[in-house]
Amino acid sequence: MRPVRDILICGASIAGPALAWWLHQHGFRPVLLEKAPAPRPGGHAIDIRGAALGVIRAMGLEASIRANRTQMKGTSRLDRDGNEVWRSEEMTISGGSFARDAIEIMREDLSRILLGALPKDVETIYGDSVEMLREDADGIDATFVSGTQRRFDLVVGADGLASSMRRQVFGPDSEYLLPFDMVLAPFSSPNMIGLEDWQITYDDGNGSCMIYTAPGNETLRVCFGFTAPLKDLLEDRASQIALVRENCAGMAWHVPGLLDNMEAAPDFYLGPIAQVKMKGWTRGRVALVGDAAYCPSPFTGQGTSLALVGAYALAREVAHYPTAPADAFARYEAIMRPFVEVNQAIAGLSRDPRFGSDPGYYTDVIEPAMAHAENAVKLPELTGAYT
């Protein structure tokens, strides 16, 4: 078979640019295609841990990512009237213990750094997506929504939890999405409560939200989370905002003001909490990477680390088998499968009632499980953990 050269990657958030970087590094010609008209703003603080630290280190990006990390010094839990009922200066709820070597960074900052690291000759197309794929023995034709037609050797879906590549090639969401019937709605707000380098969980018994400072303290990131069946999730912003209002209207303290700020937030995002569970992540000349393939859900805090390691592993295997993509894909699946399974299992621990309120639960249960899961991948060059 002719060696692989041109590779289309759909999605330019985390997995997509990381994969493009690694493929370019191995001498391939990746094309990055993003549906949004520009790099997407917004998103919660996300974490890079374990083997994923090895990936950003190998990309030469560790220093710039650490320089842009969140700067929080601790966390408090507040009651309905805003009184502090618990505090810690050793951890945050979103990032875990400060004692561990992990980087917490806003999703948009990490995405910006990854996109900025791409060599100039990596073609990046915004505001378009794949409408149709047609594969033959020599390659795969992609027709974009804009009408553009291009031919590639491989196509990769890095288009997130609601991946349309997964739907087009592997089948409907109902076969692969495991919803937890909860949503998260993060957005930015002016720092109207004077919070400094700190994280708050406000819980009034009816509902809760997490609030923390973005680096520099000028803005807050607010995240509401509540129960909502996947089938009720509407795509337009106005309906999503109405859903948050409906579920959080009864909350007191500063929440009404934060809900008002939500209306104007440019980066408001509402997404279901769900996992993607698939028996295989590749078919023919198409592969999935990151949340599209194996979203572990925000309950694990490992979505970004799986995406970074998955991008690295996929590029590594395509580089090892440039004339045999099926072998490359089989190796990619074999490397990632145990890593994904152990990380997806963490979601169960985060759903325990002690999560978010009992510090002992972190030290005795969550931290040991995370410490094991974040390096449970047989890529010795990243972890040094296996021979």
- Residues engaged in binding ligand FAD (CB under 6 A): 10-16, 33-36, 40, 42-44, 46, 107, 129, 158-161, 164, 184, 186, 269, 290-291, 298, 303-304, 307
CB 184 within 8 A of CB 223: yes
Cα(199)–Cα(379) distance, rounded to whole angstroms? 34
Closest by CA position to 126, among listed 208, 60, 200, 37:
37
Q: Provide, rounded to whole angstroms, the least separation between the CB of residue 83 and ligand FAD.
A: 27
| 91 vs 185, beta carbon nearer ligand FAD | 185
Cβ contacts of 2 within 8 Å, gap of 6 or more: 138, 153, 323
| 311 vs 321, beta carbon nearer ligand FAD | 311
| 95 vs 321, beta carbon nearer ligand FAD | 95
| 86 vs 355, beta carbon nearer ligand FAD | 355
Closest by CA position to 274, among listed 334, 231, 238:
231
| 16 vs 30, beta carbon nearer ligand FAD | 16
CB 195 within 8 A of CB 201: no
| 202 vs 269, beta carbon nearer ligand FAD | 269
Alpha helices by DSSP H, the chain: 15-25, 51-58, 62-67, 107-116, 164-170, 173-176, 237-248, 255-264, 291-294, 303-320, 325-344, 346-350, 359-361, 367-373, 380-383
Q: Provide, rounded to whole angstroms, the least separation between the CB of residue 145 and ligand FAD.
A: 8
Q: Provide, rounded to whole angstroms, the least separation between the CB of residue 225 and ligand FAD.
A: 10
CB 14 within 8 A of CB 114: yes
Please compute, for residue 196, the number of CA atoms within 13 A of its CA located in the half-sphere on the CB side: 0
Q: Provide, rounded to whole angstroms, the least separation between the CB of residue 105 and ligand FAD.
A: 10
Q: Provide, rounded to whole angstroms, the least separation between the CB of residue 296 and ligand FAD.
A: 8
Residue whose beta carbon is closest to ligand FAD:
290
Q: Coil, strand or helix: which one is 133?
A: strand
Cα(382)–Cα(316) distance, rounded to whole angstroms? 12
Q: Provide, rounded to whole angstroms, the least separation between the CB of residue 160 and ligand FAD.
A: 3
Q: Provide, rounded to whole angstroms, the least separation between the CB of residue 59 and ligand FAD.
A: 15
Closest by CA position to 117, among listed 32, 37, 229:
32
Tell me phi and psi for residue 371, to 5 degrees: -60, -35
CB 358 within 8 A of CB 88: no
Q: Provide, rounded to whole angstroms, the least separation between the CB of residue 130 and ligand FAD.
A: 6
Alpha helices by DSSP H, 161-236: 164-170, 173-176
| 271 vs 325, beta carbon nearer ligand FAD | 271
| 271 vs 321, beta carbon nearer ligand FAD | 271
